[in-house]
Every structure is written in C-alpha cells, then in structure tokens.
Amino acid sequence: MGKVVAGVAIVCAAAACAAAAVTVSYRMRVRSQRHHARSFLLEFQEACATPVARLRQVVDAMAVEMHAGLVSEGGSRLKMLPSYVDQLPEGDEKGLYYAVDLGGTNFRALRVQLGGKESRVIKQEYEEVAIPPELMIGTSEELFDFIAKELTSFVAREGDDFQPSAGQSRDIGFTFSFPVQQTALNSGTLLNWTKGFKVVDAIGQDVVAALQRCIQKRGPEMRITALVNDAVGALAGGRYWNEDVMIAVILGTGTNAAYVERAQAISKCGSTFPKSGEMVINMEWGNFWSSHLPRTPVDETLDNETMNPGEQGFEKMISGMYLGDVVRRVLLKMAQEAALFGPNVPRKMLEAFSLGTPDISKIHADESSDLKVVGNVLRDVYGIQNTSLAVRKIVYEVCDTVAERGARLAAAGIVGILKKIGRDGTHSKDVGSPVHPESGKTVVAMDGGLYERYSKFRAYMQAAAAELLGDASKDVVIELSKDGSGIGAALLAASIAKNRRK
C-alpha cells in the first residue's frame, strides 16, 4: 500500500514538473515572441521617425515642387492645377444656391440661402449618403446618374424658406474631389481616379457635361456653374467667413491642398493673367513625393497592392483611407512573425482595409490604465479575445506611430505652402503675396473627417507646425472649417452669379 502511495506521489510530482516545464517554456516563448514584436516595433518606429530636421527637408521639397509644377506642365509630381477661380466669395452674396459634393466615401447634396453681408447664411440644409461601393468601379453613366438622382430628390424637398431670386435659376457648385484639368470654371476633364475609384470610361471626359446631362434627363432645371475641387471649395468656404484664409487643406478619405497664388507666378499659363492678379491653385498634393519622406517596407507593400501603385505617395502616408491599413499591415507582420495574438493569425487581419482609421483613432483615444478600449476594438474587429496589457500597449503604440508620422508630414506640407507664399517667417516682408494689413495673419482652413474627428492627429499636426514655424507661428492660424468643401462650392456658384450681374 505504502509503495502504491509513493508511486502515485512520484507520478504526480513528475506530472507537476512536466506541467511546470510546459508553463515555463510557454511563458518563455510568449516572452520571446513579445520581445520579437517589441523589436519589430522599435525598428518600425525608427523608420517612421520625423525629427524636425527631416521635416524641414520635406518643407523645402514641397516648396521646390510647387515652383516646378507652376513652371511647366508635368514639371513636378504636384500637378498644381489652375482652378480658374480668381475671385473668392466676399460675404455679400445673395440668393439660393446648391452644391453636390462627391468625396471619397460620402456624397452630399446641400442648399444654402444667402442673405448678404449682414445676415450671411440664413439657412442651410444638407443630406449625406455613403457612395455605394459598386459605383466606385462601375460606369460613368451609373455614377453621374446616382448623383443626379440624389440631387433630384433633395431638390424636391426644398421648403418655402428657400427662395431663388426673381428670374434666377438654381445654380449648382459641383465639388469633385479627384484630379481634373479645368478648361474653364464650369468644365474640366478627369485626369485620373484616386482613393479606390476606378470608373474607367470617365477618364478624359468633361465631368460637368456628364453630370449636367444626367440632371437634365432626371428633370430639375438647374445648371452647374462651378466645378470645384474639394480643397478649392474649402478655401472658398473659409474665405467667406474670414478674409485671412489663404490656404485650405483636406484630410478626409484622401488629402489635398489649395491656396491663393499670384497669377504672375503661374508661368505655365503664359500671360493670360486674371484681372484680380490672383488664382487659386489646386495642388493635388496627395501625389507629392520626396526621398525625404520616411517610407517603410510596409508602405511599399501597401502601395503595390493598391489600384494606383506608384501614385498618391503622400496621400498613402497621411490620409484617412490608408492610416488604418498601415497599422493593420504592421500588426499582421507582428502576428505572423512574432505570434503577437497567439499561435493563429486572425483571419480577418489578412483582409486589406479591415481596420479603419476611425478604429485607430478610437484605440489612440484610450486613456484607461488597462487599455480596455484597445482590447474591445481588437475583439470587435478581429475576434481576438483576452489580450494582455503588454499586447494592447504594442497595438496602441503602432497607432500612435502611424498617426504621428502622418500628422507631422501634413504639418510639413502646410509649412511648405507657407514658405512658397512667403508666410513662414523666413522671408522679408516684401516677398510673396501681401498679408492682410489689419490682422497680419495667415489662416489655413482645414476640412475632412480625419482632421475633424481624430483629436490626437490634430494635436500632433498643430504641434509640428508650431515647431517648424517657431516665432512665425503666432501669425499663422490653422483652424477647422467644417464642411467648407461642400458649402464652398455653393458659395463660389453664388460669387460667380454676383459677378455675372455686375
């Protein structure tokens, strides 16, 4: 009997030792995997670093490329497209105007009743719908008919408090957030698609004529009087309220910038200067590229797998469509090479764009000590249960790294524009475009879902701009101009109508 007990005790002890050995070896493996993930993170962070010296190189490259793009067609990856907008709204516009805004994710229709200098915007209404994904890769007819259909039903719901002035038609400003070579204020041909759109037969078409045809078929009597890029719209929207607005930047699904340039500086336009001596330039800065941008192997694979490889390099590092996917790719590498989420790679993590930028902004906003929200997002998006705090910290830091890099590069881009127009504090007072004599300020109007809804991104961007501008930052205001891009198109349509009447 004693022998049996002893035998059982020995077996139990051996089993306990084996279990302990398995536990120790498991812990060691987990620790070593986490160590592997940490060193991968450090390497990625180094590759993404944007110290101020590097940002200054980006600032200079942006200013140089702007010059090059203004001198000759194809002189730079920055298209620097003349917008044909040579007069921005002044605040005294009156009447009823419409706008349609085709962004990268959403479509908006809006109407605004303007009351002139004193009462300004008397009333404004808008409707927003998500663009059906199949239309992003369908035919031109389907896409423009969708816009016409949405507009027609929106117009049908116009209330009595919206009134066109006597004898006036309903004018539309058309915000179209893709690269267009304009030939006049109300016409322009599509150069290429971005942001996951691929409606092949629309390339080379006049997008105004295409939309006008569809509107006519649907019935409402309306005409498109201004074709406006979203950044140009945001500039017009910002200027309507504040005459110091000189630059507008969109950070939404995609990214772009527009600014007021001296007409004489646009050498590629020859000597046909607008009367005002100024012209708004649609930079199409999403396609900006410089060897100083901190690009990692992850960015390279992302680029190769998009619909437009080799294009929109800046956009793919800073805009809402891509930030989430950069994070996903880093996490996937950590899952595959360091078993960050356990022995199996979450299947959904293999899917491109399965992690959105709103998810990373949610993770990034988590201030709790146990990073509960980070755990919830990983569970909800990828079905990963019971993540440890150490894993959550790594995920948080990946988001922080990607967002900080994007925000600081966006700031460098803005300072590049300020440098080009002589407002970055490094020029003598008589170079560049004149500063408003009373305020002495330069205002940058920001629009887009990423900037509006991602507070840490916004804070990183503001801080980097201040760092780069030094003393001059007291004269530069970077502020949100919510939905400026849509209402701006309606305001431009109003300003065109006003000038027509003059």
Cα distance between residue 95 and residue 323, in whole Å: 41
Residue 95 binds Mg ion (CB under 5 A): no
Residue selected from 95, 103, 375, 422 as contacting Mg ion according to rule CB under 5 A: 103
- Of 1 and 130, the one with the shorter C-beta distance to ligand ADP is 130
Subset of residues 443 to 462 that bind ligand ADP, contact rule: CB under 6 A: 448-450, 453-454
CB of 450 to ligand ADP, least distance (A): 4
Site map (CB under 6 A) of ligand ADP, residues 162-191, x = contact = ---------------x--------------
Pick the closer one to ligand ADP by CB: 104 or 422: 104
Tell me how far apart the alpha carbons of residues 260 and 276 are, in angstroms, rounded to a whole number. Answer: 11
Find out whether 485 and 101 touch, Cβ atoms under 8 Å: yes
According to the binding rule CB under 6 A, does residue 286 interact with ligand ADP? no
Give the residue nearest to Mg ion (CB).
Answer: 103
Contacts of 144 (CB under 8 A, 6+ apart): 207, 210, 211, 213, 214
The CB-of-252 to ligand ADP minimum distance in angstroms stands at 3
Among 256, 361, 387, 442, binds ligand ADP (CB under 6 A): 361
Distances (CA, A) of 321 to 194, 251, 383: 11, 10, 22
- Calculated CA dihedral for residues 87, 90, 93, 96, nearest 10 degrees: 80
Q: Using an 8 Å Cβ cutoff, are 228 and 180 in contact?
A: no
Query: Which one of 32-40, 100-108, 289-297, 388-396 is the stretch in contact with Mg ion (CB under 5 A)?
Result: 100-108
Cβ of residue 383: shortest distance to ligand ADP, in angstroms? 22
Residue 138 touching ligand ADP (CB under 6 A): no
Q: Supply the minimum distance, in Å, between the C-beta of residue 224 and Mg ion.
A: 18
Please report where in the chains the tokens 């279990």 appear, as a residue. Answer: 19
Of 105 and 433, nearer to ligand ADP (C-beta) is 105
230 binds Mg ion (CB under 5 A): yes
294 binds Mg ion (CB under 5 A): no
Single out the residue of 33, 45, 57, 106 in contact with ligand ADP (rule: CB under 6 A). Answer: 106
Q: Which of ligand ADP, Mg ion, none is residue 473 near (CB under 5 to 8 Å by kind)?
A: none
Residues 6 or more apart from 252 whose CB is under 8 A from it? 103, 104, 105, 177, 230, 319, 320, 447, 448, 449, 450, 451
CA neighbours closer than 13 Å in the CB half-sphere of residue 1: 0
- Helix (H, G, I), strand (E, B), or coil: what is residue 116? helix
CB distance 62 to 417 below 8 Å: yes
252 sits near Mg ion (criterion: CB under 5 A): yes
CA distances from 194 to 198, 292, 313 (A): 8, 23, 11
Q: How far is the CB of 137 from ligand ADP (least distance, A)?
A: 16
Amino acid at 27: R
Min dist. Cβ of residue 465 to ligand ADP (A): 19
Residue 338 vs residues 281, 296, 349, 400: alpha-carbon distances, Å: 47, 19, 15, 20
Asked whether position 354 contacts ligand ADP by CB under 6 A, the answer is: no
Q: Considering the complex, what minimum distance in angstroms separates the CB of residue 405 from Mg ion?
A: 23
CB of 14 to ligand ADP, least distance (A): 55
- Using the minimum distance from each CB to ligand ADP, give the nearer residue, 401 or 473: 401
Among 47-55, 293-301, 421-429, 442-450, which window interacts with ligand ADP (CB under 6 A)? 442-450
Q: How far is CA 480 from CA 238, 247, 260, 462, 469, in A?
A: 9, 12, 18, 12, 19
Distance (Å, whole) CA 231 – CA 445: 9
List, in sequence order, every residue forming a beta bridge with 251; answer none if it has no partner: 255
Q: Give CA–CA dist 54/76, Å, rounded.
A: 21
The residue from 253, 256, 282, 312 that contacts ligand ADP (CB under 6 A) is: 253
Interface residue list for ligand ADP (CB under 6 A): 103-106, 177, 252-253, 320-321, 357-358, 361, 448-450, 453-454
Interface residue list for Mg ion (CB under 5 A): 103, 230, 252, 485
